[in-house]
A and B are shown apart, each in its own frame.
Chain A
């Protein structure tokens, strides 16, 4: 395998002159508020720092993460793959196949021990010794553990790798398990979503390359810069929510006017993602903008939290159709009836007592 190109090499290869490169370095220093003394330092770093090798493995998944990733506009996925990172193994995107592909994986692991990033799309099923997902003739869980052993950090792409997604939904017959429950000794960045937004995916990688460290993570291990606010917090239909103007049925006048989809079970208020700001397909739209509520695909266990079309979650523990209101109302009804019966018996008892004592007096 050839020596990995530096950023400078890539820029020169793309036709940028040395002069333009130096201008770029001065501009970067100025933009970052650094003194002119930093210009040669930046230039030096760009000239010497090799691009980060990335191994991208696929477990139980539908490739929607890859499909999303290659549609990134800012930065373009081609820039990320061809210029910024060195994507050494990705059986979906790479030219090599079969033994050559597996050899590339082994090569990368050995050559860059402790320096490569492992990106995981999908998750390993653990039932039947992992036989529900076979990669290169072996259970995926073995490939995952092998590749993770010497990784610098692990990126969990999508709801599958982060939380389990549909294959881990109840009753989870293959025991599909999120990556962080299998790999416990590496820093893991969860980038949930089904799929994650393209720009979020490339944004996370760009951050890690630019600053050479993990992005700031929230309590659940998601990059705070994309997952610290709910869809609801930045939703353009929020004024209708605050006004109390809701879509009452899918084909009503309010739906045509673009009112809030809260009553249609929109999970925007409980979903942390950047859809309402970054949007999808080069910022064209996102589910709520196209008239459908958010289904909360970037939340833990979103398949098991009731219907996509209810605001109050179904509590299947109490029967298929029940929810907090139905359970509560039933319980309150039973208690109310009990209280009424108790009051009736109490009244009867004391009436009985009165007649008895008046008889005794007589």
Chain B
């Protein structure tokens, strides 16, 4: 290094070995870490998607709950001039469309974005190091490990949760949701020809409603765990969590190599 650096690099020390073996940390990441104690992980489109997605899910859960369990009858005006339940349903459909477009955009970004943008979509199940790190992280949550490891993107356990609840879960909710939407849009139309086949798959429309409803609860459970884990890791782990989804930068709290 020609310039003087405030951060002394130790070129011969192997850093973030576990994260490198699981395919989490790239060579550029390691380079960045040697120079700075922070690394740019989540690019702007990823962060934007995260918060739009979060907002859409909140709206979808709230309005979805009311669609299954309508609010008390309201007597504001004649039925012709009153559209309370209609607006609730409209908000649900609108948020669902935003979620769908956002998710498609997110898939696109997995192709053109950085290495970490792909983590949500591929679980490296063929990598035995990845599996051992899943169990390591499990032990950390069971208080059997004294200290967590450093991760650039998601830790392997979080990555698995993201994959099943978000990637698969959101896909399931989008497909079943659009199938239900196609019922109102009318048979033979655009949505029906794309998603109408889903309804007989579940027996009938009522059964599909039930399963879509259960899906909401799965996402609510994911939300509880996700928010808890993010805040807990922000406090107890060795890197930043919550602010990373705002600034995109992961900051490490110590400069130990592993």
Distance of A324 Cα from B211 Cα, bound (Å):
8
A3 at the interface (CB under 8 A from B): no
Distance of A325 Cα from B71 Cα, bound (Å):
15
B104 at the interface (CB under 8 A from A): no
User: Which of chain A's residues have a CB closer than 8 A to the CB of B228?
Assistant: 339, 342-343
Distance of A350 Cα from B220 Cα, bound (Å):
28
Considering only CB atoms, which chain A residue lies closest to B214 in the complex? A324
Contact present for A313 and B187 (CB under 8 Å): no
Query: What DSSP secondary structure best describes chain B's contact surface?
Result: helix
A91-99, A239-247, A274-282 - the one binding chain B: A239-247
| Known A-B contacts A219-B200, A328-B217; A243 and B83 likewise in contact (beta carbons under 8 Å) | yes
Q: Interface code A244-263, partner B: CB below 8 Å = 1, 0 otherwise?
A: 11101000001000010011
User: Which of chain A's residues have a CB closer than 8 A to the CB of B214?
Assistant: 324, 327-328
User: Which of chain B's residues have a CB closer than 8 A to the CB of A267?
Assistant: 206
| Known A-B contacts A270-B206, A327-B214, A328-B220; A254 and B73 likewise in contact (beta carbons under 8 Å) | yes
A312 at the interface (CB under 8 A from B): yes
Contact present for B70 and A219 (CB under 8 Å): no
Contact present for B224 and A313 (CB under 8 Å): no
Task: Give the total of A residues in contact with B, Cβ under 8 Å.
Answer: 54
Contact present for B187 and A270 (CB under 8 Å): no
A218 at the interface (CB under 8 A from B): yes
Considering only CB atoms, which chain A residue lies closest to B211 in the complex? A324
Candidates A301, A323, A328; contact of B204 at CB < 8 Å: A301
Q: Interface code A294-313, partner B: CB below 8 Å = 1, 0 otherwise?
A: 00100111100110000111
Contact present for A312 and B70 (CB under 8 Å): no
Distance of A228 Cα from B221 Cα, bound (Å):
36
A9 at the interface (CB under 8 A from B): no
Q: Chain A's nearest CB lies how many Å from the CB of B170?
A: 17
Candidates A239, A245, A325; contact of B73 at CB < 8 Å: A245
| Known A-B contacts A312-B210, A335-B224, A339-B224; A242 and B86 likewise in contact (beta carbons under 8 Å) | yes
Interface residues of B in 128-165 (CB under 8 A from A): 141, 143
Contact present for B217 and A219 (CB under 8 Å): no
Distance of A220 Cα from B203 Cα, bound (Å):
10
- Can you list 8 A-B contacts (CB < 8 A)? A229-B187, A242-B83, A248-B73, A301-B207, A302-B204, A313-B206, A328-B213, A339-B228
